[in-house]
Structure formats: C-alpha cells, structure tokens
Amino acid sequence: MLKRLNYIVSCCGLFAVTCANLHVAAQDVAELVDHRYADNEGVEIHYAVMGDGPLMVMIHGFPDYWYTWRYQMKTLADDYTLAALDTRGYNLSDQPSGVESYDLQVLINDVASVIRAEGKESAIIVGHDWGGGIAWTFAAHKPEMTEQLIIMNLPHPRGLVRELALFGQQHENSQYARNFQLPNSHQSIAADGLATALARGDEDIRASYLEAFSRSSADAMMNYYRANYPRDPYDSGTFAELPEVQAPVLQFHGLLDTALLPGALNDTWEYLAADWTLMTIPGASHWPHHERPDMVSNMMRAWLGLHR
C-alpha cells in the first residue's frame, strides 16, 4: 500500500541538539499561553500565543485545535512567538454557516488576519493535515507574507491531485473524504469519539479535546472537505491550480499514514521555487508532531536556524 521513496532526508548529521523532555502535560502549556482574537471580515479567529521572537503561525488539521502544537510550542517558545490557531469552526473561533465560508481563499485570509493582529507583515507558516492545505495555499498565494513553510503530513496539493487522478490506491484510500463531502456527513461526527481517538489513552488529554470538540461545529469540520477536497475530474480547482511556492519548505511525512500516501510526495520540487527539505518518518502515522515530538521539534529548530 505504501510506495517506496528514493529520497529520504535524515536529520542525522544536520544538527547536534540535546533533547529536552518535551512531554509536558497539556494543561501546563495551556497555562502559559495568552488567548487572542483576530478579525477576518467579522469572523473572529481565536489563537493561543506563547514565546518571544519571530512570528510563527501554526495551523491544525481535522480533527484538532490549537493544542495540537503543545510539544512544539513548549520547545520553540524561547526563540519564536508562536501563534497557534483554532481554525474557523473549531473550539473558540467563530463558526460561520455555509460551505462557501470554508473556501481556501477565505481560510488563508484568516491566517493573514492573525499575522496582522500580531502587528507583523509576514511569518513562518506551519500546518498539519487541513492546516497543511491552508499553509501550502497561503504560501502559494501570499508569498510576501510567507518567510518559511513547514508542513506535516499533507503532500503538496498538486501532488495529491495527481495521485487522485490515477484512480489507484490514493483514490481508494480517499473514499473517507468523499464521504465527508456528503450533505449529512456531520451527523456521524461525535465529539466524544474524536476526543478518544486523539487522546491515545491519556485521560487528561482526552478531557481537553472533549471540551474543545464539544464547542466546535461538526458541520464546519465537514465543510472543509465539501468546499476544497479535490473532485473528479481533478483538472481544476484551488489545489490543481496552485501557483509555485516561493518560500523554503521543510516537510515531514509519517510513512504509516493511510489517508495521505507518500506517493504524492514524488516530484514535489516541480511545484517549488526554493529549497525543499523532506523528512520521512518510518513508524509514524498521520501525526508525527505527536508521535515523534522530539524529532520534529529539534528538526524544526535546526532547519529554521539554517534559514535565518
């Protein structure tokens, strides 16, 4: 099911870092952040801020909220101002109705509103899953606001579209996304089930996720798929027509991800104007920043040091 890649970039030899204990309790990070809001044409976007230094905007995926970045925030806060979003529809951000409210062009303006709310003109952009889709799109359409780009388990959207158009394994494994596009898909989404899946047996983390998902909109979560996930015939749409990304890119991909297969990573350089560092992680699945937090955080720090 997983395709072999011939270009695996190892972090070994790139840096020497003494790994700290990153596994802090979620509530410890929650006690350290400031809670702020940005406005995008009347929609309030909540974000949690921690640290000091150049601005880094962090964008979660489905199903999640700002807290997904807890390990990275704790590790990077000495050197960066970290602004972790609740994307619209989730947790403390507004939940506008209508599929059109979740179009990628709207979502990237949410990110821009956070950057402006922090008094900056640009930022380092980080995204996972749907947050990765937003991040790729933001970097492509707003190069002047993107300093560097860091992606976790979301192949470049044009690579994903290419693989879907082959009607092979990626198309088959994306049936869940086509199901999510159905009008009533949100009726099968329950906060308790989502929280249990994300907690991985940790009851404190489960409680935090349950609180966030209980005040989130399941319909909004599904609108990300309805508005943006590529559809047959796969030759048009925001993802298929994405402009070339100008910023340097660091990309992580857990090779056990069954929703987003690594074949879509092939030829990513064709869509990029600057350097691309790919770190594939055998043994990790869709959540490398949870499953390999030390590795991900230390690689981020080392790579960012090279691009100052």
Active site residues: 129, 225, 286
Closest CA to 123 of 157, 89, 85: 85
Count of C-beta atoms within a 10 Å radius of residue 79: 16
C-alpha to C-alpha distance for 239 and 253, rounded to whole angstroms? 19
CA distances, 162 to each of 2, 136, 181, 198, 231 (Å): 16, 16, 20, 30, 12
CA distances, 204 to each of 210, 229, 294 (Å): 10, 33, 21
Count of C-beta atoms within a 10 Å radius of residue 165: 16
Q: How far apart are the first and last CA of the chain?
A: 38
